Amino acid sequence: MSEAVLLAASSVSVSLGNRVVVRDVSLALSGKHLVALVGPNGAGKTTLLRALAGLVPSLGTIEVGGDALPSLTLQERAQRFAYLPQGHQVHWPLPAKDIVALGRYPHGAVDPARLTEKDTAAVMRAMQATDVVALRDRSVTELSGGERSRVALARVLAVEAPILLADEPTASLDPRYQLEVMSNLRAAADRGMLVIVVTHDLGLAARFADTVLVLSDGRLVSQGPPAVGLSDKIIADVFRVRTYRADHDHDTVIVPWAEI
């Protein structure tokens, strides 16, 4: 039996100003999958991610769990999608646990100090999943970059939405925290979520993703498992580089090696 489609898009296009940024994208994605969305700078990755969540206007059709996206209220969309934007900077000296509790806002938790038992349990699950329970009372502005990234991820996990959208969650992190973030996202997918990650790191995409979507000039030019989505030809055509490939511990290793 085929898996149920959780997020479907048909002929989706997005224009920003007078420029078409996303062009006629169609896809169908199910839960329990980590999907890497890759492409050169300016390919339209962030715009497509935002369009799928209804954060920017688009042409075409988008369905979430069989429901047309425009038919959902803003609160219903916030409950269906957990969105982690680029940078995820926090400028208020709030305790980490209050930042994570913001993930319950779509469910009516407007005050982190007054959570229901259900909200409290969701926050604790998210903090345990990202190993930030020990940081719960520390001001988020005093945390390291890696610690803040884990708290930010805990916030979106606390939404307990079926779809998690993460825009370059490993940017500016050192290798250890990049692996930690991707491992947490992989675990979220394994628990049943559909996780879509925008990344420039082809190696991380190849190692952690079930499916790779490759955008070039706003068009979806390749989609499939990493071996297909990130074939030598696709990488050469889209990124204009040759790669070094190997297998290590049953994982695929892809390293951009030389310009073409």
Closest listed residue to residue 30, CA positions, set 2, 53, 50:
2
> Residue 32 above 90 pLDDT?
yes
Q: In CATH, what number does 5-65+162-259 get?
A: 3.40.50.300
The structural domains of the chain, with segments of one domain joined by +, span 5-65+162-259, 92-160
Closest listed residue to residue 13, CA positions, set 46, 55, 61, 53:
61
pLDDT tens digits, residue range 202-239? 999 999 999 999 999 999 999 999 999 999 999 999 99
Mean pLDDT for the chain overall? 94
Those residues whose C-beta lies under 8 Å from the C-beta of residue 21, and which sit 6 or more positions away, are: 14, 15, 44, 47, 218
pLDDT (average), residues 162-175: 93
- Residue ranges of the alpha helices (H) in 60-209? 74-80, 96-101, 117-129, 145-158, 175-190, 202-208
Distance CA 55, CA 220 (A): 20
> Residue 198 above 80 pLDDT?
yes
Burial grade of 145 (CB within 10 A; 0-12, 13-18, 19 or more): exposed
> Residue 10 above 90 pLDDT?
yes
Q: What is the pLDDT of residue 3?
A: 80
- Which run of H or of E encompasses 228? helix 226-229
> Residue 88 above 80 pLDDT?
no
Q: What is the pLDDT of residue 2?
A: 56
Q: What would the two tokens of residue 125 be?
A: 């699950």
